[in-house]
Amino acid sequence: MQTDMPKLNMWFVGGWFAATTTALIFSLIFNFYLSGVRLIKPTTQNFNLYAAIPKSEASVSDDISFADGRSRIIEEFFKKHKAPLSAHGNTFIEIADRYQLDWRLLPSIAMQESNGGKKVIRDSFNPFGYGIYGKLVIRFKSWDEAIERVGKALKEDYLNQGLKTPVQIMAKYTPPSLAKNGAWASGVSAFIEELR
């Protein structure tokens, strides 16, 4: 009976080893499958390379974008009114920033004077009614030129002289409107509010 004992222990140890080895191999294969590891076979090498490739089901980004929405607001404002100036939002913002104007002022004056460029003197590109007195008409080569020149004039001849609100600007820009209870300033102010 004592001679059978070492055989029994060897059988037990051998069986345990085989079962443990099988379980380990199964566990490795199962984990390998779950981890998403793919087999990569290089074309010029004689070996297999394994790499854990992340699943591409979802992605996370920490990028934050900043954009100035004022030009888009102006473009949408003019589109809503079906006005020709809808493609010039960037120019309005560039000029407002250059001359330190309220970015809503020039578009509002253009809406008050010409419905955003719909009602202008032929070939004048003057949606602001700027420098128009009877037969005297200041003409520009493009909408962008008009926006720049009138923006500069507002800065130099109005804001720098302390005329900052639509009511103050009206007294010099369109004096006849004073006799009409300030209709021009009321209209410009309403468009400024619409752009807010």
pLDDT at 17: 62
Any idea what DSSP says for residue 110? H
In this structure, the number of other CB atoms found within 10 A of the CB of residue 140 comes to: 21
**Backbone torsions φ then ψ of 52, nearest 5 degrees:** -85, 115
Q: How far apart are CA 181 and CA 21, in angstroms?
A: 98
pLDDT at 11: 47
Asked whether the beta carbons of 80 and 58 are under 8 A apart, the reply is: no
Q: How far apart are CA 63 and CA 75, in angstroms?
A: 27
Q: Which residues make beta-bridge pairs with 36?
A: none
Cα–Cα distance list, 60 to 56, 57, 63 (Å):
11, 11, 9
Question: pLDDT by residue for the chain (196 residues), tens digit each?
Answer: 455 555 555 545 556 566 666 766 766 665 656 665 555 555 555 656 566 666 666 665 666 656 689 999 999 999 999 999 999 999 999 999 999 999 999 999 999 999 999 999 999 999 999 999 888 999 999 999 999 999 999 999 999 999 999 999 999 999 888 888 899 999 999 999 999 8
Non-local CB neighbours of 28 within 8 Å, separated by 6+ positions: none
User: 3-state DSSP: the chain helix, strand, coil percent, rounded to 5?
Assistant: 55, 5, 40
Q: How far apart are CA 106 and CA 192, in angstroms?
A: 9
